[in-house]
C-alpha cells in the first residue's frame, strides 16, 4: 500500500476513536433532552448554541484554519504559529467583546450578554488549543480530548438536567464547563503551554495569517448563516415547536457530518502534505470517489431503518422528523463533498475561492427559504438545504479544476443519488413499515452490488492499517 494512503488510513482510524465515541454519546443524549426538555426549550437551546457557533469565526478571526494550514507546514515554527494565533484571538475577542457589551447596554436582548461572551471565549479558546494539538502531531491526545469532552458534557447534563432539574441553564453550564476542563487537560498533559509565550508572537506571521484567514471569515459566517437562517425563518413563520422538530431531525445529518469529520481531520493533514506532488490529481480523485461511496452507504442504511430508529430513540412528539431526515441527509452529502473540494482552496492558500462559492450557496438557501417556508412550512427547509448545497458542490467542482482536477466516477455517483431519491419517495408514500423495510433492503443490495469492489478495497486498506497500528 502506498505510504500516503497508509498514513491517511492510519490517521483516520485514530480519529475514529474520538469522533465515533463522542458522536455516540451525543446521540444517546437525545432521549434525555427530548424527554426532560420541552420541544420549545430544545428549540431555544439549539437557537442559542448556533448563534454562538456563527460568532466563533468572527471573534477568533477564523484563526483555527491558519493553525492547521501553517502548523502542518514544515517551513513555519510551531511555537510562533501557536503564540501568534492566541495573540490574534485575544486581541480581536477583547475588542469585539467591549463593543458588544457597550452596544447591548442600550438595548434589551432576550439573552444574558455576559453568559454569551463567557461561552464564546472558552469554546473558541478550546478549539484553538485542540486544533494545535493536531497540527503538532499529537493525534492520540487530540482524539482522546474529543472523547473526554463528550464524557464531561454527558455527566454534567445528567447531573444538572436530569437530577437537579436546572433545565436550559444546566445545559449551558455543562457545555461551558466541558470545554474549560478539556482545554486545561490539553495544556497540561500535552504540554502545549510550553509552546506559548507573548515573546513568540511574530508580526510577519500575523500579516500572513490575516491574508489567509480574511476571506475565510465571511465564508464561515455564510456557511453558518445557511444553517442558522433555517432556524430563524422556521421560528418566524412556524414557531419554536416546528424548530424543535427540525432541530431533532438535524441531529441525523450532524451524525453524518461526524462520520465525515473522522476522515476530514486526517484528510486535512494529507491534503497539505501531498499538495503539488506529481500524482496529486490521481490521489485527490481516488480519495474523493471512495468518500462519495462511503457517504452514500451511510445515507442508504439510515434511510432503510429510519422508521425503527425514530420509534425507539425519539418520542412520538417528534414523529414528523421521518419526513425531514432523508432529504436533509442527501443535502448534507453535497455539503460534505463540497467541504472536500474546499480543502483544495486551503492547501493552495487560495481562500478567496471558498468565500465566493459559499456566498452563492448562502444566497440560494436564503431565497429558497423565503419563497418556500411561507407556503410549505418547516419541511421546505429540507429542499432549500439540498438545493443550496448542490449549488455549492457544482460551483466548487468547476472552480477547483484549475488547481486540481477531480475525476468523478459519474456512473456510480449518479446511480447512488437515484437510489437515495427512490428511498425518499418510498418513505413519503409507503406507510407499511414491513413493506418499506423490504424495499429498502433491495435498494441496499443494489448499492452493494454496484460498489462491491470498492468496498472490498476499503476493507482491505482498513485491515492493513489496523495491523500496522
CA dihedral 460, 464, 466, 468 (to 10 degrees): -170
- Measured CA to CA in angstroms, residue 62 lies from 67, 177, 206, 209, 282 at distances of 10, 23, 13, 10, 30
403 and 354 inside one domain? yes
C-alpha cell, 367: 431565497
DSSP run (H or E) holding 250: none
Query: Based on the domain organization, do 203 and 279 belong to the same domain?
Result: no
- Residues 165, 257, single domain; the answer is no
Query: Does residue 224 belong to any structural domain of this protein?
Result: no
Residues 209 and 247 in one domain: no
* Domain presence at residue 227: no
Residue 320 DSSP label? T
Closest Cα to residue 51, out of 248, 258, 221, 239? 221
400-458 residue pLDDT tens: 998 899 999 998 899 999 999 999 999 888 878 888 889 988 998 888 887 777 666 66
User: Are 393 and 340 contacting, i.e. CB atoms less than 8 angstroms apart?
Assistant: no
Per residue in 13-46, pLDDT tens? 778 777 777 767 777 777 777 778 777 777 778 7
In a domain, 231, yes or no: no
The answer to whether residue 228 sits within a structural domain is no
Residue 321 lies in a domain: yes
Q: Does some domain include residue 220?
A: no
For the four alpha carbons of 347, 65, 11 and 401, in that order, the dihedral sign comes to negative
Report which of 161, 132, 165 is spatially closest to residue 66, judged by C-alpha positions.
Answer: 132
Which regions of the chain are under pLDDT 50? 1, 465, 468-469
From CA 219, how far away is CA 301, in angstroms rounded?
32
Residues 296 and 199 in one domain: no
DSSP alpha helices (H): ranges in 195-250? 203-213, 216-238, 240-249
Q: Which of 197, 214, 231 is the last residue of a domain?
A: 214
**What pTM value is reported for the model?**
0.77
Q: State how far the Cα of 139 lies from the Cα of 133, in Å rounded to an integer.
A: 7
Same domain for 174 and 252? no
Residue 180 region by backbone torsions, left for phi larger than 0, else alpha for psi between -120 and 50, else beta: alpha
Q: Are residues 419 and 341 in the same domain?
A: yes
**Residue count (the chain):** 469
pLDDT for res 215: 86
* 230 within domain boundaries: no
Q: Please give the pLDDT value at position 319.
A: 77
Residues 343 and 438 in one domain: yes
Task: Let me know whether 250 and 168 are in one domain.
Answer: no
Do 251 and 198 fall within a single domain?
Answer: no
Q: Which three cell numbers stand for residue 139?
A: 493525534
State the residue range of the domain holding 301. Answer: 239-469
**Cβ atoms 384, 230 nearer than 8 A:** yes
- Domain edge (last residue) among 181, 214, 247: 214
Instruction: Tell me, yes or no, whether 332 and 274 share the same domain.
Output: yes
Within a 10 A sphere around the Cβ of 270, how many other Cβ atoms? 23
Cα separation, 59 vs 194, whole angstroms: 25
Q: Would you state the pLDDT for residue 469? A: 47
- Whether 245 and 180 map to the same domain: the answer is no
Structural domain count of the chain: 2
Do the beta carbons of residue 341 and residue 206 sit within 8 Å? no
Amino acid at each position: 500500500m502506498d505510504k500516503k494512503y497508509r498514513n491517511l488510513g492510519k490517521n483516520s482510524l485514530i480519529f475514529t476513536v474520538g469522533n465515533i465515541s463522542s458522536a455516540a454519546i451525543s446521540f444517546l443524549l437525545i432521549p434525555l433532552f427530548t424527554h426532560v426538555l420541552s420541544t420549545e426549550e430544545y428549540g431555544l437551546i439549539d437557537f442559542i448554541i448556533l448563534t454562538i457557533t456563527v460568532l466563533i469565526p468572527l471573534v477568533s478571526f477564523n484563526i483555527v484554519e491558519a493553525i492547521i494550514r501553517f502548523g502542518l507546514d514544515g517551513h513555519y515554527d510551531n511555537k510562533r504559529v501557536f503564540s501568534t494565533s492566541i495573540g490574534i484571538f485575544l486581541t480581536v475577542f477583547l475588542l469585539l467583546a467591549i463593543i458588544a457589551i457597550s452596544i447591548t447596554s442600550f438595548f434589551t436582548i432576550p439573552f444574558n450578554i455576559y453568559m454569551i461572551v463567557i461561552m464564546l471565549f472558552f469554546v473558541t479558546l478550546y478549539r484553538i488549543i485542540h486544533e494545535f494539538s493536531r497540527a503538532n502531531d499529537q493525534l492520540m491526545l487530540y482524539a482522546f480530548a474529543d472523547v473526554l469532552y463528550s464524557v464531561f458534557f454527558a455527566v454534567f447534563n445528567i447531573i444538572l438536567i436530569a437530577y437537579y432539574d436546572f433545565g436550559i441553564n444546566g445545559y449551558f453550564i455543562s457545555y461551558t464547563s466541558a470545554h474549560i476542563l478539556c482545554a486545561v487537560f490539553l495544556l497540561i498533559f500535552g504540554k502545549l503551554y510550553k509552546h506559548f509565550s507573548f515573546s513568540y508572537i511574530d508580526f510577519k506571521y500575523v500579516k500572513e495569517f490575516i491574508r489567509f484567514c480574511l476571506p475565510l471569515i465571511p465564508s464561515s459566517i455564510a456557511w453558518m448563516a445557511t444553517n442558522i437562517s433555517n432556524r430563524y425563518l422556521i421560528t418566524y413563520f412556524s414557531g419554536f415547536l416546528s424548530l424543535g422538530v427540525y432541530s431533532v431531525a438535524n441531529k441525523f445529518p450532524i451524525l453524518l457530518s461526524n462520520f465525515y469529520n473522522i476522515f476530514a481531520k486526517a484528510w486535512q493533514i494529507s491534503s497539505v502534505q501531498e499538495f503539488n506532488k506529481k500524482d496529486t490529481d490521481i490521489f485527490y480523485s481516488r480519495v474523493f470517489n471512495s468518500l462519495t461511496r462511503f457517504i452514500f452507504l451511510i445515507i442508504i442504511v439510515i434511510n432503510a431503518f429510519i422508521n425503527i430508529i425514530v420509534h425507539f430513540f425519539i418520542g412520538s412528539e417528534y414523529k414528523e422528523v421521518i419526513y425531514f431526515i432523508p432529504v436533509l441527509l442527501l443535502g448534507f452529502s453535497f455539503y460534505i463533498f463540497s467541504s472536500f473540494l474546499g480543502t483544495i482552496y486551503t492547501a493552495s492558500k487560495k481562500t478567496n475561492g471558498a468565500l465566493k462559492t459559499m456566498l452563492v450557496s448562502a444566497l440560494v438557501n436564503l431565497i429558497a427559504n423565503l419563497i418556500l417556508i411561507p407556503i410549505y412550512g418547516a419541511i421546505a427547509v429540507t429542499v432549500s438545504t439540498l438545493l443550496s448545497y448542490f449549488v455549492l458542490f457544482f460551483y466548487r467542482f468547476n472552480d477547483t479544476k484549475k488547481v486540481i482536477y477531480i475525476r468523478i466516477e459519474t456512473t456510480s455517483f449518479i446511480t447512488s443519488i437515484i437510489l437515495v431519491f427512490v428511498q425518499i419517495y418510498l418513505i413519503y408514500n409507503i406507510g407499511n413499515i414491513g413493506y418499506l423495510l423490504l424495499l429498502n433492503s433491495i435498494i441496499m443490495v443494489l448499492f452493494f452490488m454496484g460498489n462491491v469492489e470498492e468496498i472490498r478495497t476499503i476493507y482491505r486498506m482498513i485491515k492493513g492499517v489496523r495491523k500496522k497500528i
